[in-house]
Amino acid sequence: MVECPSLIQPLLTGKANEGKSMFRSVKNHSIEYLESPLLSKCDFLTHAFCTRLGGVSENEYASLNISFKEGDEEGKVLHNWNRIAMAFAIPLEQFLVVNQVHGDDVLVIPPYGDFFSTRAELNHDAIVTNRTNLAVCIKTADCVPVFFVDRIKKIIAVVHAGWRSSALEISAKVIRLLREKYGSAKQDILAAIGPAIGRCCFEVDGTTADAFFNQKNNEEFLFSCFGTNKWILDLAGANRRQILNCDIPEENIDVADLCTSCRQDLFFSHRGSGGITGRQVNFMMIKGDAPCRVLTIGDEYPRIQ
Ligand SMILES: [Zn+2]
> 56 C-alpha vs ligand 1 centroid, how far in Å?
26
Please indicate, yes or no, if residue 209 is contained in any of the structural domains.
Answer: no
Please indicate, yes or no, if residue 33 is contained in any of the structural domains.
Answer: yes
Rg (CA), the chain: 20
> 197 C-alpha vs ligand 1 centroid, how far in Å?
6
> 34 C-alpha vs ligand 1 centroid, how far in Å?
18
Q: Give residue 101's domain range.
A: 5-13+20-196+250-292
Beta bridge partners of 68: none
> 262 C-alpha vs ligand 1 centroid, how far in Å?
4
Q: What is the CATH number of the domain that holds 281?
A: 3.60.140.10
Please indicate, yes or no, if residue 244 is contained in any of the structural domains.
Answer: no
> 176 C-alpha vs ligand 1 centroid, how far in Å?
31
> 2 C-alpha vs ligand 1 centroid, how far in Å?
9
> 293 C-alpha vs ligand 1 centroid, how far in Å?
51
Task: Give this prediction's pTM.
Answer: 0.90
Indicate the number of domains in the chain: 1
Please indicate, yes or no, if residue 258 is contained in any of the structural domains.
Answer: yes
Please indicate, yes or no, if residue 243 is contained in any of the structural domains.
Answer: no
Residues of the chain with pLDDT under 70: 1-21, 117-120, 290-305
Helices (H), the chain: 5-8, 37-40, 74-88, 163-167, 170-182, 206-210, 235-245, 270-273, 293-304
Please state at what angle helix 235-245 crosses helix 170-182, rounded to 10 degrees. Answer: 30
> 6 C-alpha vs ligand 1 centroid, how far in Å?
7
Cβ-contact 168, 139 below 8 angstroms: no
Give the three-state DSSP class for 150. Answer: strand
Question: CB-side exposure of 259: number of CA atoms within 13 Å?
Answer: 19
> 281 C-alpha vs ligand 1 centroid, how far in Å?
20
Please indicate, yes or no, if residue 140 is contained in any of the structural domains.
Answer: yes
Please indicate, yes or no, if residue 215 is contained in any of the structural domains.
Answer: no
- pLDDT tens digit string along 220-255? 999 999 899 999 999 999 999 999 999 999 999 999
Please indicate, yes or no, if residue 303 is contained in any of the structural domains.
Answer: no
